[in-house]
Structure 1
Amino acid sequence: MFDPTAFENMKVVMEGALYDRDIGGEIAITDRNDLMNLAKLSRVYEVTFTESANSAVQCTLILQANLENLAAELLPSNQEGQSAGAHLTILFKMRHENRQELHEEIEEELTRIWGSDRSIKQKVSFNPMEKSNEIMKEITIEFNRLILEDQIDDLFMMVDYILDSVKKLKQFN
């Protein structure tokens, strides 16, 4: 028997919280990746979902841990546990009309939900050959810090914030 790492424990909690919502019909999980990079000894877990099968807003939760995070946990005498944890990124994808006021309103809504101490970045792409004014937007929310195993209960509450964000973002379609 082995002692699971903080990454594994957080992954299981996050996965359980989302699959409970999927089974309950609140969300529809559309993709999942659990990757290990053997060259760099890093881990990435991604789960993608929508609010419903035909929702215009897609969300991906990305949990990442690198060798430094693993070493800090397994060899605490070397780093005093300073880096034992994982990084969490939330990625939303959606389409909407390309208007500056929409970009600003989205920023305001997400800042209201997530707080001003999170990094919220909007990235826009479009096909310049099409006459449409519609854009594809990717919005990332980063926590600017390591998520520690002590904060594992926060992952359950975070799902509510994510669903609130999806509902607000749907209003911009």
Structure 2
Amino acid sequence: MFDPTIFDNLKVVLEGAVYDMDLNDSVVIMGRTDRIELSSMSRSFSMTMARKEDGVAEGSFMLTASVADLAAELLADSKQQPGCSLELSFVFPITDIERDCSESVSMIGEIWGAGPQLSQCIMMEYGEQPRRMKSKLDVKFVKKLDERHIDDIPSLLEHFHLCLERLDERIIE
């Protein structure tokens, strides 16, 4: 009989919770990717969404597990901590690089606290007039997730939705 891995269990719970958000009309799902990378034997699962009402900012999460994570789990290796990595990304339009980037990092930092690492990059299409810029803000959780974190998923998605809401409010102002 198939025994699901940590990745499988977290993926199913995350996916179900996001589809529930879609059914409740709080988000619209814009994309879903479920990959097995055969060259590195890694797995990844991601979903991209925006708020249903006034949703300008897009948010996505990516759950990943490497072959080392899978091996540590299957072989019960006490030297390795099995689990999955989680990274969130938010893409939103900006007009003033310094002000908008600073405000968004501060706002997202307030929501998530000191735990995750934040990074941000600016994107624009060369030659596009008027020049429209977007920011991609990444929230990377350093600590690996496992089944003990399943009960935290509703709270995680509430924080995720709050980020989309606050980014949208900032954009609309």
TM-score by length of structure 1 reads 0.92
Deviation at 1:16, TM superposition (A): 0.8
Mapping of 1:4-153 within 5 angstroms? 4-52=4-52, 55-76=55-76, 79-80=77-78, 82-132=80-130, 134-153=132-151
- 8 Å Cα contact 1:97-1:133 kept in structure 2: no
Distance 2:79 2:99 in 1: 44
Question: Where in structure 1 are there 5+ consecutive unaligned residues?
Answer: none
Distance 1:91 1:16 in 2: 19
Q: By percentage of residues, which structure has more strand?
A: 2
Equivalenced residue count is 171
The CA RMSD over aligned residues, in Å, is 1.6
Deviation at 1:133, TM superposition (A): 5.1
Q: Residue 142 of structure 2: SS of its match in structure 1?
A: coil
Note closer, same or farther for the CA distance 1:114–1:168 as it changes in structure 2 (3 Å cut): same
Deviation at 1:154, TM superposition (A): 1.0
1:169 aligns with 2:142: no
Deviation at 1:105, TM superposition (A): 1.0
Deviation at 1:130, TM superposition (A): 3.8
TM-score by length of structure 2 reads 0.92
